[in-house]
Structure 1
Amino acid sequence: MLTVGLTGGIGAGKSEVARLLVSYGAILVDADRIAREAVEPGTEGLAAVVAEFGPGVLAPDGSLDRPRLGAIVFADEERRQALNAIVHPLVGARSAELQRAAGPGDIVVHDVPLLTENGLAPRYDLVVVVDADPDTQVERLVRLRGMTQDEARARMAAQARRADRLAVADLVIGSAS
């Protein structure tokens, strides 16, 4: 089995690279998807988030109000760390479970946005960084996700520096200029 850590800044195009790798037969372990599942209604993850942040982070239907929680955690590093302390262990456990289910000849691609921030590069046989210049990232986030430029820049600022991501890369896809 070959394990690949796939990462990149928000809006760099990592999801598209992940889709292409899957189309060639790779098995995808998507940390963002797992993180969303970890806080679905009725999960211990959602209960822990509500205990930490209060019922104001719930939507009327009882699901997590992601924009409201995002506004809290991307404005305050301490609050973001509190959220990470809840969600990251759940994501790690599920990711390991999915990898164990793969066969010995499989290529398992771990799509991990916070690979660099969490020092996870040594866990993978190969680290692929999808790179884009910051102006392109902002433009994509505004156009595709409906963020304001300030929101996009705040999300980017909350992630690892571009140079730090590139430093852990075995392979870079994108601009890296």
Structure 2
Amino acid sequence: MAKQIGITGGIGVGKSIVCRIFQNLGIPIYDADSMAKKLMVEDEVLIQGIISEFGSESYSINGELNRSYLANVVFHDAEKVKILNHLVHPRVAKHYQNWVISNNKAPYLLKEAALLFESGGAKVLDEIIVVTAPLDVRINRVLQRDPHRDKNQILAIIEKQMSEEEKIKMSDHILQNDDSSLLIPQIMKLHEYFKKS
């Protein structure tokens, strides 16, 4: 079985760029957040679960997820967020296990997820990398990437996420992506370590 490594970190830390570098080194990446969005429109079990919990308005007539409706119904209600997560996370976990089997020839595998600890996904992984960056750097990155968000919205998202300190405590490796530490040498060091271990 290929070694399974988790990669996590809050909004704006730069998980995507880190994953792209690992991908260029030939390492398969499972992007759990993108896959969750994909499964919400492709996985029949998940679709039926969402409809029975949140109503048929959750999907348009042509089967597209009605994101604005779901956001209004779910995201201001912690209990409903929990229900949605309980529907989505097990389906992503099942899909991930099949992906691991089909990519088992790789030197190691990377699973990227913002909610790696919160979803319970970390439990099945061998080691965890957390990507970190100072708060002001994170805010600026998100403002550039998502012009539709303002600083208060970004801070509200950060507030809801597990703190960086907690993630660091629960992780095996830290990647500093603060725009002053060189990222590639840090990644190369981990790459060599994972290939040997």
The offset of 1:69, in angstroms, is: 2.4
The range that moved more, 56-65 or 44-53, is: 56-65
| 1:123 counterpart = 2:116 | no
What SS does the corresponding residue of 1:108 show, helix, strand or coil? Answer: strand
- AA aligned to 1:54 is G
> How many angstroms does 1:94 deviate by?
0.5
**SS at the partner of 2:30?**
strand
TM-score between the two structures when normalised by the length of structure 2: 0.79
Matches within 5 A, 1:109-120: 109-120=110-121
Corresponding position of 1:33: 34
Deviations 1:52-91 (A, max 9, x none): 1223433564311334423443322111101101100000
Offset from partner CA, 1:82-120 (integer Å, 9 cap, x none): 110110000000001111222355210011211122344
Contact 1:41 / 1:62 at 8 angstroms: preserved in 2?
Answer: no
CA deviation after TM superposition for structure 1 residue 127, in Å = 0.9
Asked if 2 retains the 8 angstrom alpha-carbon contact of 1:74 and 1:158, the reply is: no
Structure possessing the higher radius of gyration over alpha carbons: 2
Kindly indicate whether the alpha-carbon contact (under 8 Å) linking 2:41 and 2:63 is maintained by their aligned counterparts in 1: no
- Name the SS for the 2:103 alignment partner: coil
- TM-score calculated relative to the size of structure 1: 0.87
Indicate the residue corresponding to 1:134 in structure 2: 135
Structure 2: give runs of 5+ residues left out of the alignment: 179-197
Q: CA deviation at 1:27?
A: 1.0
Percent identity among equivalent residues? 27
How many residue pairs match? The answer is: 176
Q: Give unmatched runs, 5+ long, in structure 1.
A: none
Look up the equivalent residue of 1:164 and give its one-letter code.
Answer: E
CA-based RMSD of the aligned residues comes to 2.2
Q: Which runs of 4+ in 1 moved over 6 A?
A: none
Higher helix residue share: 2
DSSP-derived class of the 1:62 partner: coil
